[in-house]
Amino acid sequence: MFAALDLGTNNCRLHIVSPLKRGYKIVDSFNRVVCLGEGLHHTGLLSEAAMKRTMYALQHCADRIKRRKTFNIYAVATEACRRAANAPLFLDQVKNKTGLSINIISTREEAELALEGCAPFLHDKTLMDDKNRALLFDIGGGSTEIIWVRIDRARGQQTLAGYCSIPVGVLTLKEQFKKITTDSYNQMVLCIIDKLLAFEQVHRIRAEILRNQVQLMGVSGTITTLASLILKLEKYNRSAVDGMLLKSSETRKIIKNLLIHKINSLESCSCIDKDRIEYIIPGCAIFEAIHTLWPIGSVIVADRGLRDGIIAKMMRYKYHKNKAEFPTPYYPLIQNTSIYKSSFLPQTIS
């Protein structure tokens, strides 16, 4: 068994998987809104209430890991813990109470892992239509990652050509713009565009879009929620949305409808958890900013990312280290990524 834990600004997520000849099977999964970064934008600290909620969720994760007798574990924390002055102390408390050793990863490591998790879609000819560039976005609670990818089809590999991480996510936008109006929504969009302009100026992505060489891919709860609404799912279904190709025009249309009806139209949607509803509009604003700056005709929906990337690298590390014969991983190899540093070792929790 392999376990990957992602402690984000808004969510605490866990995957426990069993390896197969190609890829793996998810045997247990956990996802809870903990709002760890609540108030962080104003205080620079994790609040007592947020840490208490998160500790409770992490204890659940530790119990699941122990119950499954999982010995290959890697746990990471992202933007909230990168920014909070008291995060190291909190993570020490987590280790003492749960046995989980959680590593605060850099923005580059976060981008690399998200790319690794989504790698299968980059080599899917049906989804990519032979395009040799991809633009991935991962909308989180406290930050948004933009990943610019060069694809080598002959070798079946991809290269991280550039990335940026802006310190704005659904939780920070919700706290900054407390009331959703047309004006505040437009301000959100403009705020995000302004933060992304420097990345465009360096990489000239719009020029590649004009050459029809770029595919957009969304790695976040925002894009999977929009896909669920477009499909009119009665209950969220990962297999229905993961790998779905959405027309960007359909996505913008559903966003417009959400803005007209605001939160009221979402409360009756059984495919959306009630504790996530208030974060959908801020997520839509981030997506709309990305698509306005980089107007690509379709977007691949990926219900995967950090956790999948961690598991792929753990599996490759373990079997390579043991020199055991193991089929070629379903995820293409990415060279020279910083996740291979010495701290990336399987752990056990007592």
What residues contact 183, with CB distance under 8 A and at least 6 apart?
Answer: none
- Which candidate, 146, 141, 111, places its Cα nearest to that of 7? 141
Same domain for 323 and 217: no
Cα 224 from Cα 243, distance rounded (Å) = 10
Q: Is residue 346 situated within a structural domain?
A: no
In the block, residue with structure tokens 């956990």: 30
Q: Which two tokens stand for residue 110?
A: 């976060």
154-200, pLDDT tens digit by residue?
888 899 999 999 999 999 998 888 888 889 999 999 999 999 999 99
Give the model's pLDDT for residue 3: 94
Q: Which two tokens stand for residue 280?
A: 């959908």
Same domain for 137 and 275: yes
Number of domains in the chain: 2
Same domain for 170 and 116: yes
Confidence of residue 23 (pLDDT cuts 50, 70, 90): confident
Q: Is residue 162 situated within a structural domain?
A: yes
Same domain for 58 and 183: no
Cα 255 from Cα 226, distance rounded (Å) = 8
Torsion of CA 106, 305, 69, 77, to 10 degrees: 30
| DSSP state at residue 82 | H
68-124, pLDDT tens digit by residue?
987 789 999 999 999 999 999 999 999 999 999 999 999 999 999 999 999 999 999
Same domain for 138 and 228: yes
Same domain for 159 and 116: yes
Same domain for 175 and 287: yes
Same domain for 131 and 13: no
Q: Is residue 49 situated within a structural domain?
A: yes
Q: Is residue 150 situated within a structural domain?
A: yes
Amino acid at 229: L
Same domain for 214 and 121: yes
Same domain for 266 and 179: yes
Give the model's pLDDT for residue 166: 95
pLDDT-above-70 percentage for the chain: 86
Longest dimension (CA), the chain: 59
Same domain for 335 and 256: no
Give the model's pLDDT for residue 321: 56
Top-confidence residue, 123 or 333: 123
Give the model's pLDDT for residue 260: 78
Same domain for 335 and 269: no
248-301, pLDDT tens digit by residue?
999 999 898 888 776 555 555 655 665 667 788 899 999 999 999 999 999 999
Q: Is residue 48 situated within a structural domain?
A: yes
Residue 79: domain span: 2-104+306-340
Cα 346 from Cα 318, distance rounded (Å) = 8
282: domain CATH number is: 3.30.420.150
Cα 48 from Cα 43, distance rounded (Å) = 12
pLDDT above 90 (res 345): no
Confidence of residue 63 (pLDDT cuts 50, 70, 90): very high
Write out the DSSP string of 190-252: HHHHHHHHHHHHHH-HHHHHHTT-EEEEE-SHHHHHHHHHHHT-SS--HHHHTTEEEEHHHHH
Q: Give the chain's end-to-end CA distance (angstroms, integer).
A: 16
Range scoring the smallest mean pLDDT among 98-107, 227-236, 299-308? 227-236
71: domain CATH number is: 3.30.420.40
Mean pLDDT (whole number) for 239-255: 92
Residue-level length of the chain: 350
| DSSP state at residue 339 | G
Q: Which two tokens stand for residue 316?
A: 């490759």
Mean pLDDT (whole number) for 144-153: 94
Give the model's pLDDT for residue 263: 55
| Whole-prediction pTM | 0.85
Q: Which two tokens stand for residue 291?
A: 């698509």
288-302, pLDDT tens digit by residue?
999 999 999 999 999
